[in-house]
Structures are given as structure tokens and as C-alpha cells.
Amino acid sequence: MLLNKFATEKSSFAVKSIKNIVVRVLAAFTSFLVNLLIAKLVSPAELGSFFIVLSLIMTLSQVATLGLGNAIIRYLGVDKAENNWKHLNSSFSNILYICTLVSFGCSLLLYLCSNYIAINFFAKEELSVLIVYGCLSIPPVTVLTVFVCAFQGISKPMNGIFFQTILQASLFGCLVYFLASDARDTLICYFYSQIISLLCCSFFWYQNQQMYLTSLNYGIFCEIKKDVSPLFIVLLLNLILSQSPILLGGVYLESDDIAKVSIYHRLATLTNFILIAVNMVVAPMYSALYSARKIDEISVLAKKSMMFMVLICIPISLFLILYINNILLLFGEFYVEGSSSLIILILAQMVSVLFGSVSLILVMSGYANKLNVGLLYSVLFTLFSIPLLVPLYGLTGLVSIMAIALIMQGIISSIYVKRLIGIKLWL
């Protein structure tokens, strides 16, 4: 029964991916417009301060999920394939309760440490008040992330994308346009956009009669607890890898340079939206296939999805590189000065797409601990390189570190996928 359901899902892979890509394109376009809007309305220094606090919010909200996002996708993917709605709702409810409680703890911790972080870590006293406002956003961001992963687990990733990216970004942009003039106002607008999006998302989830909240289940809790350690390590390493350039860069660079790095990073990730879109479709498929030990089917799906991603990613990357100055000019002349840094990030993102879904395959196959190895090397490289290279080479040094770390992670994950699962994509 499980394999028959999977065969039906696999046959519609292209259709699902194309639909997902259309939604991701809309999401990417919405995010682009919002970034353009705040870059126009808020000064580079204020924008840099906002992005530093936003990195803290994203870091702690992800920590609050305890790495259980991938566990939700795996559990719900298998439960849905087996039509086990009772176990599905129990698993989701337990994870939701745990993550919500931890998110409030993280918010309180950041509030208590706000002054110390601003003065002793960033040496920017003005950040203290902004961090306090940022604390408000941690719980809604965390819970919304849990719902998005749940939608992905039941093979409805477009719903999650709509609420987390399109609706939230649209609300955020509208609020910023009418209400924001500095970093503090922007953070308040961000909080309200997250709250409204979360309310809409949760209402939509529980409109489905098969979805309901359950009480805490000790058996399910013990089952979830087994996944917390390896998945949390994966999450922690990913967070260090993704957020340390902004947080540590904020120690060595001025706020306006951080604004540049943040805008460049967001523009560069336009090239890998295809990776995210396809991964949201194939994640539950990988989980169901590995449960049935159909390695050959995983290999076929992995190669098909990789080629699909490459065909779309390369033209987008070339377009961004060819018209890079025109695109940056939309944000202001200040951002055009560092166009070479953006090119470095675009090329790194393009290489990341060429590796395919190797990291996802490791997690969905139960090898999250092996994924830690590649992440650990990338993290160590990043943490040691930033204090050495950023003071010497500034912005260029920072984006080069980000690019090398991203490629390093892809190479090591590809090697492990070949050795442990027997799937060879490139290496």
C-alpha cells in the first residue's frame, strides 16, 4: 500500500514541482520587493542594525524548534502514506507544544541578555533596545516554522510557502511602507506580520477535519526525543553556518556593510529557490521510500530532481550576473559598489544547486549524524576564517568565506550519500 501510494506521488513529481516553483517564484518576487522597499525607506546603517537583530531572531527561533522540523516532515510523511491520522496528529501536537514552550524560553533569555549582547559582543549600544523588540518575534516565527514543516510533511508545501513567505512578506512590506522609518519600527512591523500570518496559517490547518490537537503523549514524546539530539546538532551547525557571517561580521564591520551583505545574500538566494521548492516536494517521498528500503527509487528520484533544478537555476544565475548593476541600482547606488561580492555569492549558490538534495537525502534516510560531519567542517572553517580574513579583506573576505563554506558542505554531503546510501550524483 505504501509503495503504491508512493508510485502515484512519484508519477506527479514534475507537476508538483512546477506548481511549487510557481509559488516559490511568487514568493521570491514578493521577498525581492520587500527587500527593495526597506532598502529605500530605511538608511543603510539602520537597515544593518535591523538585519543583525533579525539574525538573532532567526537563530533563536530555529534553536527553539530543536531541529524537529525534519522530524515533522519524516513522521507526517510516513503517517500520511499509511493513512495513520491519529499518530500524525499526536506527533504534530507533541512537537508543537515542545517548540512553543522552548520558544518563549529563548525569547526571555534574549531579553535578559539584550544589553550585554549589544555592548559586549557587538559594541553597538543602540542595538540593546532593538534586541528587546526583536524578542517578541521569536515565538511566532518558531510556531509558524513548525506549521510550515507540517504542511510539507503532508505533501502540501505550497500552503506553507504561502503563509510563511508570500503572506508574511506582503504584510511586512505593507506595514513597513505605512509605519516604518527606522530599525525599531521595522522590527515592530515584522512582529505583527508574523503574528497575523501565524493566526491565518493555524486557522487554515485546523479547518481540515482530519487535523486536531491532542494531549501530550509520553510514548510519542519518547519517540520524538530520540530525534532531538542528532537533528538538533544538524540545526545548530546549520544555524552557525548561516547566521555567523552576519553576527560575527557585525563585530568587525560597520552596520551599513552588514546591510550590504544581507541584501546580497537575499539576492543570491534567488538562484536556489528552485532547490527549496523541489526539496519541499521530494522530502516526504524520500522518507517513504527509505522506510520501504527502495534505494534504487531514491536514486532515480534524486537524479531526476537534480537535473530539473539545474535546468532552471543556471539561466537565473546568468541573468543576475549579466544585469547585476542594474538590479543593485534599484536598491540605491550605495549597494552597487560591492557587486563583485554578490557575484561570488551567486556562483556559490549555483554550485550548491548542482549538488542536488544530498543533505536532505541524508536526513530523510536517518543519517543526520553523518550530515553533521560536513556541517562541522564548514562551521569550523567559517568561525576560524572570519576573525582572520574579515579585518583584512572586509566585505569581500566575508562573502568569500560564506561561499567556500557552502560549497564545502555540498562536497562532503555528496561523498556520504555515495558511501552510505549508494547514490552517486556528481562525485
What is the dihedral sign for C-alpha 276, 281, 283, 286?
Answer: negative
Which pLDDT does position 225 carry in this prediction? Answer: 64
pLDDT tens for the chain, residues 1 to 427: 444 544 444 445 556 656 666 776 777 778 888 888 888 888 888 888 888 899 899 989 988 988 777 777 777 777 777 777 777 788 888 888 889 999 999 999 999 999 999 988 888 888 899 999 999 999 999 999 999 888 888 878 778 888 888 899 899 999 998 888 888 999 999 999 999 999 999 988 888 756 766 666 666 666 666 666 666 776 777 777 777 788 888 888 887 888 888 888 888 887 776 666 677 667 667 767 766 777 777 777 777 777 877 887 888 888 889 988 888 888 888 888 888 888 999 999 888 888 877 777 777 776 766 777 777 888 889 889 999 999 988 889 999 998 999 888 888 888 888 777 777 665 4
**What totals of helices (H) and strands (E) does the chain contain, helices first?**
19, 0
Which pLDDT does position 1 carry in this prediction? Answer: 46
Domain boundaries, the chain: 2-421
355 DSSP assignment:
T
CA 378 to chain CA mean position, Å: 17
Distance from C-alpha of 166 to C-alpha of 149, rounded to nearest angstrom: 16
1 DSSP assignment:
-
Q: Which residue has the cell 516553483?
A: 21
- Percent of the chain scoring above 90 in pLDDT: 18
Distance from C-alpha of 253 to C-alpha of 144, rounded to nearest angstrom: 32
Give, to the nearest 10 degrees, the angle between helix 85-116 and helix 69-81: 170
Q: Extract long-range pairs of 207-212: CB within 8 Å, 24+ residues apart.
A: 210/85, 210/89, 211/89, 212/89
CB neighbour burial string for 251-280, b if at least 16 within 10 angstroms, e if fewer: ebbebbbbbbbbbbbbbbbbbbbbbbbbbb
Which pLDDT does position 188 carry in this prediction? Answer: 94
